[in-house]
Amino acid sequence: MALGIRKQVLTVLMQGAAVPVIGGLCVRLASALRGPYKDKKYLANLTCNPYISPKAQIWAKDLEIGPQCFVDDYVTIYAHPDGGRIVLGEGVHLYRGTIVEVGAGGSVVIGPHTHIQSNCNLKGFLGNLHIGANVQMAPGCGFSPYEHKFEDTSRPIREQGITTRGDIVIEDDVWLGLGVYVLDGVRIGKGAVIGAGSVVTRDIPAYAIAAGVPAKVIRYRGRRAVEA
Ligand SMILES: CC(C)(COP(=O)(O)OP(=O)(O)OC[C@H]1O[C@@H](n2cnc3c(N)ncnc32)[C@H](O)[C@@H]1OP(=O)(O)O)[C@@H](O)C(=O)NCCC(=O)NCCS
C-alpha cells in the first residue's frame, strides 16, 4: 500500500477508535497494519484519540486518558473498588508490562508527555502518586506511597494493614534511570536526575543528580562541584 494511502487508512481507523461498538475493531485493524512494539506509537499521533492496545488490560471506574496517549501491549491499569482516580495526561506513553494500580483511596496522576518505559510499577494506595509533565522513566522503576505495618511480631505482616508517610511527587522534567525505587513521602524536584538502581528515601532538590542506596546528591546539573 502506498505510504499516503496507508496513512489515510490508519487515520480513518484511529478516528474510528472512539466510535462505540466498532472502536475496538478499528484499533485492532490499525495495529495489524503497523510493526511490533514502538512502531505502534505512530498510531497515537495520527488523531486526537489515544492508542490503547487491544492487549492492554484496563479496569478502572475513575479513569481519564488524554489525547495522543500510547498504552502498549500488556499494560495493566487497575483500580480496586476503593481506589481513587487514575489520570493519564495528553501524550503520556506507558510501555509493556507497566502496571498502574490504585486502592485504599489512593490515586495516580501522570502529567502530559511523560514517558514510562517497560515494567514500571506505579501504585496509589493510601497515599497518592503524582508524576509531573515531561518525566522520562527508564524500565523497571517502582513507586510505593504506602508500606506494610510490621511492628507486631505475633501476627503475619499480611494482617497488620498498611500505612504511609505521605504522597510521592515527581516534579516536571525529572529523568529516572533504570530500576529506580521511590518510597512514600518523597518529592523529587523539577529537573532532577536519579541514577540507575537508586532507592530514593528522602526528598531530592530540583536539578540535583542523585544516585545510590539510599540516593544521595552527587552534584547538580550544569555544575561540576557537589553543593552541600
Ligand atoms: C547518575 C548518572 C546519570 C551519571 O551522572 P554523572 O554526574 O555523570 O556521574 P559520574 O558518572 O561522574 O559519577 C559520579 C559518582 O557517582 C557514582 N554513580 C554514578 N551513577 C551511579 C549510580 N547509578 N549508582 C550509584 N553510584 C553512581 C559514580 O560511581 C561516581 O562515584 P565516585 O565519585 O565515588 O567515583 C549515571 O551514572 C546513571 O546512573 N545513568 C542512568 C543510566 C540509565 O538508567 N539509562 C537508561 C536510559 S533511559
Give the Cα separation of 21 and 32 in Å (integer).
Answer: 19
pLDDT at res. 138: 98
What pLDDT, on a 0 to 100 scale, did the predictor assign at position 2? 74
Among the options 80, 113, 130, 148, which is catalytic?
A: 148
- List, for residues 61-112, the tens digit of each pLDDT value: 999 999 999 999 999 999 999 999 999 999 999 999 999 999 999 999 999 9
Torsion of CA 106, 110, 116, 122, to 10 degrees: 0
> Using CA atoms, how far apart are residues 186 and 129, in angstroms rounded to an integer?
10
Measured between alpha carbons, how far apart are the two ends of the chain, in Å? 61
Q: Please, which pLDDT band fits residue 1 given cuts at 50, 70 and 90?
A: low
Nearest alpha-carbon partner for 182 in 154, 143, 213: 143
Residue 137's pLDDT is 98
User: What is the pTM assigned to this prediction?
Assistant: 0.94
| 168 CA from centroid of ligand 1 (Å) | 23
Pocket test for ligand 1, best of 38, 193, 198, 218 (most atoms within 8 A of CB): 218
Ligand 1 within 6 A of 66 CB? no
**Cα(100)–Cα(199) distance, integer angstroms:** 20
Query: pLDDT digits over 158-195, tens only?
Result: 999 999 999 999 999 999 999 999 999 999 999 999 99
